[in-house]
Structure 1
């Protein structure tokens, strides 16, 4: 009889543990902080919950948080540099942060200046691209290192995913900006984007962070493709940034695959 009671008690205890585990798991909500620049905030995806930083609920951090049921602290901001991340964004991190995504670096190398130079009629944009590449290889690694080290210090237990940038142009025709950017210039811009991706990937890996490359996802959906996931030159939206489809079908699946 005692043996039966002991067996019954063990069975009841085991059943109670099985019933309690899902409830406990649900109680532990993921604390997710999204850092970065306009490619992370959702500039170009609209509409914006924060007009100054152009944060959008259609941006990949918001999509990912909704899928994970995570508590999102969304501090990525359009126009941000690595210095801005250190001054205004990393304060959102703490020891309880579970997940971090960050996309940063393009504004540190004057990439917007290179794009503007290439769409300006009768201007050779190669020197401006070369200057961006020089900054990417000679100056950006130390800036990224400072940001990544701060993330690791403030959120030591977090999983950190570093998102890259897509190539902008299909480089098959001159549909963008009324034909002011040639196919050769598009190719040269894409080469610069590849260099930037390589620099960011190397810096992320040095800190043990996961690099999320989105170039494959955006292949076939660049500016001047049949189904672009990026805005070209436009006065109606944020030019040269991913649209809502670029976040939903480009960045978001790449992040999910990495996770």
Structure 2
């Protein structure tokens, strides 16, 4: 079976050839000119879309707005892969919740990593709700969001604190937080459905691609070393099993279910393709609490390889969407 990247190359070539075939004969000998992009794509989402961490590239924001978008994040990778076929508007923003995408102006993070180093342009003014970048001319919308509405970063931080001094034994985080997870997931479901409704209203002819989250915690948590800060630091193996089974996997299921109940919306699964590339795997696509380089906080985010994998799958979904269109 052809790889995702091979399919992307073939599909991209086919679309490009089809576009060339439509060029009027009288222009064939004319000097090359910048062609207008065929499809308008708007990328929405949180830090798993924006990139944010140094291992996902340099911050390229122009103008700087504090959202910490990076040049190796999957929207930027796809933009380079597909060239003039797609006109990208990337308004993804680190720390965004579903409400920040739908209707609420967001206070951007606006700090270089690590957090104790002030960004020289800080404080940044609020950025508009991401949905405002979408309009009736939008052809494709990708959205990767939900983790901050769930409170995943806060859950991780509490698990770090609760696991400290435990010796890696037990499930102190699960014992403290498990009862709150169903309510958190229910809020994600409500907010996600509202977001998809708003996006459809703003762009009634657009295809929406709901992008899920990659594998963060491996199925075999014995790979994860207690007190290894390049992995999950002081989170116990028992709590890591709980995080995978009762937090991250259900989050993806909620997103997939929401996509399935809205017309013109598809789910892009990143979880299965990244199963062997968790934080605790040798070929990791998601960094741990810190990267291996000194003073670089990663806070459990995809690195450039993780974004490359996301780019392969999201680009394939985009090409399928526009070929159907």
1: CA distance between counterparts of 2:93 and 2:226? 26
Structure with higher helix content: 1
User: Which deviations, in whole Å up to 9, do the C-alpha atoms of 1:5-41 show, x marking residues without a partner?
Assistant: xxxxxxxxxxxx9652998xx6452211000111111
Preserved contact between residue 72 and residue 307 of structure 2 (Cα < 8 Å):
yes
Preserved contact between residue 268 and residue 314 of structure 2 (Cα < 8 Å):
yes
SS at match of 1:247: helix
Cα separation, partners in 2 of 1:18 and 1:215, compared to 1, 3 Å: closer
SS at match of 1:125: helix
Deviation at 1:112, TM superposition (A): 1.0
1:20 aligns with 2:31: no
1: CA distance between counterparts of 2:235 and 2:312? 30
Query: 2:119 aligns to what?
Result: none
Query: 1:98 aligns to what?
Result: 139
Deviation at 1:256, TM superposition (A): 3.0
Unaligned runs of 5+ in 2: 1-20, 29-34, 105-128, 167-171, 319-325
1:33 aligns with 2:42: yes
Q: Equivalences for 1:1-259 in 2 at 5 Å?
A: 19-20=23-24, 27-44=36-53, 45-50=56-61, 52-69=66-83, 70-86=86-102, 87=104, 88-120=129-161, 121-122=164-165, 124-126=172-174, 127-136=176-185, 138-170=186-218, 171-175=221-225, 177-178=227-228, 179-191=233-245, 192-208=247-263, 209-234=265-290, 235-248=295-308, 250-259=309-318
SS at match of 1:251: helix
1: CA distance between counterparts of 2:80 and 2:260? 27
How many residues are paired up? 239
SS at match of 1:48: coil
SS at match of 1:71: strand
Q: TM-score when scaled to structure 1?
A: 0.85
SS at match of 1:242: coil
Q: TM-score when scaled to structure 2?
A: 0.68
Deviation at 1:92, TM superposition (A): 0.5
